[in-house]
Amino acid sequence: MACKITSFRRRRGFTLAELMVTMGISSIVMAAIAALSLYTGRSFAHLSNYVDLDNLSRNALDIMTRDIRQVNFLDSFTSNRLVFQDSDLQELVFEYDPNAKTLVRIKGGERKVLLTECDLLIFRTWQRNMVPGSFDLIPTTNAATCKAIDVTWVCSRKVLGARVNTESVQTARVIIRKQ
């Protein structure tokens, strides 16, 4: 019996066709991972912006609510400025500057910026009495009859080159307790 030993040649790499297919599939997978990473990063940036602006809005509203509830009365107002007599008989002012896009609290000569990057802010005044048959208050244009203040604003900032709103509208109604 004769034994014949044959040698096998080992392959040492891919053929050109196999290499092209592998590179094509790898490119598609890498593009999908890159797109997902960009989308996730953008989502986290928008979410971070939302949380930051929401915290700033909440802090501003907390300060305004605390102060307005304790005032003696509303002295004068416009759609972007409120002037109160505070419980210590000093003037308390909340003023919105549309050019600077800021809401400022002024008391005793001290200015404190409550909101920045505020695109819109409107104050409205209401009487103590309710509209018959509803739970809404009667609007007033007289500071002496004002019992409630509505404040509405929208803040936004640029995130990754695009302007993004916090929410469509932030709004609150604050009742003057001492009046």
- Read off the tokens for 157: 């900032």
Instruction: Share the mean pLDDT of the chain.
Output: 86
Please compute the mean of the pLDDT values over residues 127-145 and round it to a whole number.
86
Convert the pLDDT of each residue in 24-50 to its tens digit. 999 999 999 999 999 998 888 878 888
Mean per-residue pLDDT for 131-144? 86
State the pLDDT at residue 92: 95
Distance, CA of 112 to chain centre: 19
Cβ neighbours of residue 137 closer than 8 Å, sequence gap 6 or more: 126, 127, 128, 129, 130, 131, 147, 148
- Tell the burial category of 66 from Cβ atoms under 10 Å away from its Cβ (0-12, 13-18, 19+): exposed
What is the reported pLDDT for 104?
A: 96
Whether residue 169 is predicted with pLDDT greater than 70 in this model: the reply is no
How many CA atoms does the CB half-sphere of 29 hold within 13 Å? 6
Q: What is the pLDDT of residue 43?
A: 83
pLDDT classification of 7: cutoffs 50, 70, 90: low
- Residue 164: per-residue pLDDT: 64
- Token look-up 């409630």 returns 148
Would you say residue 70 has pLDDT above 70?
Answer: yes
Nearest to residue 157, comparing CAs of 37, 79, 51, 35?
51
**Phi and psi dihedrals of 26, rounded to 5?**
-60, -40
Amino acid, res. 48: S
Amino acid identity at 52: D
Give one DSSP letter per residue of 93-153, joined into a string.
EEEEETTTTEEEEEETTEEEEEESSEEEEEEEEEEEEEPTTSSPEEE-S-GGG--EEEEEE
Extract the tokens encoding 133. Answer: 């048959």
Cα–Cα distances (Å) from 177 to 33, 70, 71, 133, in that order, read 57, 6, 8, 24
Q: Residue 44 has what pLDDT? A: 86
Upper half-sphere CA count for residue 50 (Cβ side, 13 Å): 9
Summarised one tens digit per residue, pLDDT across range 156-167 is: 877 777 666 555
Give pLDDT, residue 83. 95
Of the pLDDT bands very low, low, confident and very high (cuts 50, 70, 90), residue 2 is low
**147 CA to centre of own chain:** 28
Query: Which of residues 121 and 6 earns the better pLDDT score?
Result: 121
